[in-house]
């Protein structure tokens, strides 16, 4: 049962009985670091991430994402880079015709339920809320079969209205709306009937228990025993506030300087050599200035403009430095986080991109395990209820398949193509691997390539006589990489 953390819960009493013998500097408490580490604690993962604490962090993360262009841009870039257009599937069963039909059924179904869009929303929720939930169910309104669907649920709606009472009636560990068995596996979810922040009137916030097989829970587990996560963007929230305050301060300073068109000043002193005292604010005056106006000033008076010293030359450097720190907790390089590679050379951009691609690969693998594979399992079981897929019935879990995501576009296509030819020739790679890196299934692509070549041959034979060529010459023309050379060589043989 999760309870609100208090200072008395921190197990420091047992530790303070024994003097600290460590020689590590960080283990010492000094006058200089006492205030810095004042908030450090030894709370468990669940106690530290209490419902009250997570609610505050979620609200602040959402506020920043709704009001900060940098934060929103990073959230969208992260979701689109990882999920892209969503996963495509290749079924590798021996019955290729049936496998191909299942692949096409997956395409139609995933588009119908907007699966890729829901995956992107779930990935954005992880950034803002720390976790994403989806409920698997049958949508009778879908005009397609299978009609399984994924209903997204916000983290606020998974919770326990009365944690003390529900812990008594449950044999499992209960952590803010999620029951766990003795091995830490999710067994039941408590879904609130209405959103706590909604407009519906549900003072008791009643809930219903749903089996874990129907709920998908996607989060990043940063600590052992962590059951409910905090927003991934949490470490950067103070930095976003710093960026906004800095930008506003610079704009305010620049506007203040611009508001003073001309300042009149004098070094003339009074007869006694002392400047006259200013008694009231009315002694300061304002005058309207006409465009292209010329004027004379009294002796000893000068007209000056207030120097606008904002933004300073350090403004851009400060912004980039803070943004770089923000992007680090999201594992994004600066140029991807800002959408700007200005100042980068090709090597730097490629190196940063390679590191980010590794992060994307890991995230996609996790998405497959937690979300996509669960949906495919329900999808294929529904599919086998159809007569044409009856031979797969009972062996759904053993159907071999793999997923394809959006491919990585090469920085230098010519070098990439040459490298692929060399690797294919040496046997160090294969067509399946090459096409998979582009987010494509190699069999349909190769089949299409053969169809196109055969179509070219048929067209060449049909048009050969019209252009005064034999069928062999026409075929050689369209199939050669250098058709002009083929024609020249054919003319020489004729002569």
Quote the pLDDT of residue 2.
Answer: 47
Is residue 309 within 8 Å of 260, Cβ to Cβ? no
The alpha helices in 411-441, defined as continuous H runs, are 413-426, 431-437
CA distance 287 to 292: 15
CB 167 within 8 A of CB 188: no
List the beta bridge partners of residue 174. Answer: 179
Tokens 């002009």 -> residue: 484
- The dihedral through the CA atoms of 348, 351, 355, 360 has a sign that is positive
190 beta partners: 209
Q: Structure tokens of 363?
A: 């995230």
In the beta sheet, which residues pair with residue 148? Answer: 138
How many angstroms separate the Cα of 169 from the Cα of each of 162, 163, 164, 165? 11, 10, 9, 7
Extents of the domains making up the chain = 43-233+346-406, 444-494
pTM, entire model:
0.76
Residue 364: partners with Cβ closer than 8 Å, 6 or more residues away: 82, 87, 405
Residue positions counted in the chain: 495
**Predicted pLDDT at 220:** 92
What per-residue confidence (pLDDT) applies to 421?
76
Backbone torsion region of residue 352, taken as left when φ is above 0, otherwise alpha when ψ lies between -120 and 50, otherwise beta: alpha
Nearest CA-CA partner of 106 in 443, 403, 420: 403
With vertex at residue 98, the alpha carbon angle to CA 96 and CA 103, rounded to the nearest 5 degrees, is 90
d(CA 150, CA 453): 42
pLDDT at site 489: 53
Average pLDDT for consecutive 10-residue bins of the chain (495 residues)? Answer: 50 55 80 89 91 94 94 95 93 87 93 96 96 95 90 92 56 83 89 83 74 95 92 95 89 80 70 55 65 75 73 84 94 91 80 88 95 95 92 89 82 69 78 70 74 80 82 78 51 54
| DSSP secondary structure of 341-389 | -TT--HHHHHHHHHHHHHHHHHHHHHHIIIIIHHHHHHHHHHHTTSGGG
Strands (E) across 383-482 are located at 401-404
- Read off the DSSP letter of residue 35: T
96: which residues sit within 8 A by CB, 6+ positions away? 443
Q: Element (H or E) spanning 472, and its range?
A: helix 471-479
DSSP summary character for residue 17: T
Integer-rounded Cα radius of gyration of the chain = 34
β-strand partners of 178: 175, 189
CA distance 247 to 245: 5
Rounded CA separation 101/396 (Å): 15
**Alpha-helix runs per DSSP H in 224-345:** 237-259, 315-328, 334-338
Q: How many CA atoms lie within 13 A of 127 on its CB side?
A: 31
In contact, 105 and 111? CB cutoff 8 Å = no
From 477, 485, 481, select the one nearest 460 (Cα to Cα).
477
Q: Cα-Cα-Cα-Cα dihedral of 428, 430, 435, 441, to 10°?
A: -150
Name 175's Cβ contacts closer than 8 Å, sequence gap at least 6. 1, 2, 46, 227, 228
């Amino acid at each position: 049962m999760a309870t609100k953390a208090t200072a008395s819960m921190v197990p420091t009493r047992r530790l303070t009985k024994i003097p600290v013998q460590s020689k590590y500097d960080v283990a010492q408490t000094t006058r200089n670091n006492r205030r810095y580490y004042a908030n450090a604690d030894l709370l468990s993962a669940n106690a530290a991430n209490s419902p009250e604490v997570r609610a505050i962090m979620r609200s602040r993360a959402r506020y920043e994402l709704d009001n900060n262009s940098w934060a929103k841009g990073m959230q969208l870039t992260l979701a689109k880079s990882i999920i892209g257009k969503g996963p495509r599937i290749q079924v590798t069963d021996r019955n290729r015709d049936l496998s191909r039909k299942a692949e096409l059924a997956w395409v139609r179904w995933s588009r119908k339920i907007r699966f890729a869009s829901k995956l992107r929303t779930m990935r954005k929720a992880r950034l803002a809320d720390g976790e994403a939930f989806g409920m698997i169910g049958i949508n009778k309104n879908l005009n397609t079969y299978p009609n399984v669907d994924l209903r997204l649920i916000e983290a606020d709606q998974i919770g326990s209205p009365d944690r003390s009472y529900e812990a008594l009636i449950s044999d499992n560990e209960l952590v803010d709306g999620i029951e766990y068995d003795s091995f830490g596996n999710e067994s039941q979810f408590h879904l609130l009937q209405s959103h706590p922040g909604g407009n519906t009137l549900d003072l008791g916030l009643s809930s219903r228990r749903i089996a874990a097989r129907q709920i998908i829970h996607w989060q990043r587990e940063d600590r052992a025993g962590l059951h409910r996560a905090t927003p991934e963007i949490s470490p950067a929230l103070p930095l976003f506030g710093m960026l906004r305050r800095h930008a506003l301060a610079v704009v305010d300073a620049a506007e203040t300087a611009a508001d003073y068109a001309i300042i009149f000043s004098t070094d003339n002193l009074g007869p006694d050599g002392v400047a006259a005292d200013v008694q009231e604010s009315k002694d300061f005056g304002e005058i309207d200035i006409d465009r292209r106006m010329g004027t004379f000033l009294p002796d000893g008076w000068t007209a000056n403009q207030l120097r606008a010293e904002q933004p300073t030359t350090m403004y851009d450097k400060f912004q980039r430095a803070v943004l770089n720190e923000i992007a680090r907790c999201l594992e994004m390089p600066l140029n991807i986080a800002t959408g700007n590679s200005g100042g980068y050379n090709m090597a730097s951009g490629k190196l940063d991109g390679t590191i980010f691609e590794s992060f994307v690969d890991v995230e996609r693998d996790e998405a497959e395990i937690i979300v996509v594979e669960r949906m495919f399992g329900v999808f294929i079981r529904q599919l086998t209820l159809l007569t044409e897929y009856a031979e797969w019935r009972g062996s759904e879990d053993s159907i071999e398949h793999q997923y394809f995501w959006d491919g990585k576009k090469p920085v230098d296509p010519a070098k990439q193509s040459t490298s692929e030819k060399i690797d294919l020739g040496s046997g160090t790679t294969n067509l399946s691997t090459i096409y998979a890196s582009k987010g494509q299934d190699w069999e349909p692509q190769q089949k299409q390539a053969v169809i196109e070549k055969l179509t070219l041959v048929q067209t060449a034979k049909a048009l050969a006589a019209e252009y005064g060529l034999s069928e062999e010459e026409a075929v050689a023309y369209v199939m050669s990489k250098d058709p002009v050379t083929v024609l020249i060589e054919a003319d020489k043989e004729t002569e």
